[in-house]
Amino acid sequence: DQQVKQNSPSLSVQEGRISILNCDYTNSMFDYFLWYKKYPAEGPTFLISISSIKDKNEDGRFTVFLNKSAKHLSLHIVPSQPGDSAVYFCAASAKGGQFYFGTGTSLTVIP
Amino acid sequence: KAGVTQTPRYLIKTRGQQVTLSCSPISGHRSVSWYQQTPGQGLQFLFEYFSETQRNKGNFPGRFSGRQFSNSRSEMNVSTLELGDSALYLCASSLMDRSTDTQYFGPGTRLTVL
């Protein structure tokens, strides 16, 4: 049972434009959410997180939005750069529990 | 500060064999989690160790086991390998609280079962 879903396996965006990656979850107990970026042959690296008490968190070009009523999470990258091309995973957890990961979205930023 | 290291990086085994994978966390990190990554399934949580004790376990059969040593290094063992065990196995370390501390991942061990 996939508790965290990323319904778009891939996304292509022109350099300089906005990339929007989406994530949906089913467990209303989740209160902490993260995004990871993964390059080939490397482990995932932490990008940005948000707790359920917030609906937005920004870090430079990366912004995560949380819509608790819709159980929806999104990552915005503005402006997109070719170095952002990677697989992006969202993850969610409830306090003290394990992390549940989505299946990933492969982002390609076209120069 | 050195990152999370995993050995070996690549492994080829045959069905029925067993395998042991190793993970050295970032110095000072006490929590080590293991994940299995397969195409289309994302990262599936295997288990988490903290201070040599298994603190949480995912939904995997008993063929998958692990342990953690006093220096926080962790090993994962898979017995009686099946073709479906072919995957990238990732370990991640964090300071204390896996559910809120940032997890740092190693590069993974690519296991192929023939």
The encoded tokens of residue B25 equal: 């966390």
pLDDT digits (tens, 9 = 90+) for B2-15: 799 999 999 999 99
| Neighbour tally for B80: CB within 10 Å | 11
Residue B97 has pLDDT above 70, yes or no: no
Query: What type of residue sits at position A40?
Result: P
> Please, which residues have CB within 8 angstroms of residue A87's CB and are 6 or more apart in sequence?
A37, A38, A39, A104, A105, A106, A107
Q: Which residues of B touch A104 (CB under 8 A)?
A: 42
Tell whether A57 lies on the interface with B, counting CB pairs under 8 A.
no
The encoded tokens of residue A41 equal: 């042959």
The C-alpha atoms of residue A1 and residue B20 are separated, in whole angstroms, by 28
Residue B98 has pLDDT above 70, yes or no: no
DSSP string, B52-68: TEEEEE-S--TTEEEEE
pLDDT digits (tens, 9 = 90+) for A56-92: 999 999 999 999 999 999 999 999 999 999 999 999 9
Q: How far is A97 from chain B (nearest CA, A)?
A: 6
Q: Which residues of A touch B98 (CB under 8 A)?
A: 93, 98-99
Q: Which residues of A touch B93 (CB under 8 A)?
A: none
* Averaged pLDDT for residues A19-26: 97
Instruction: Give CA separation, A42 vs A14, A20, A28, A62, A87, in Å.
Output: 25, 23, 31, 21, 11
Angle at A56 between CA B45 and CA B99, to 5 degrees: 25
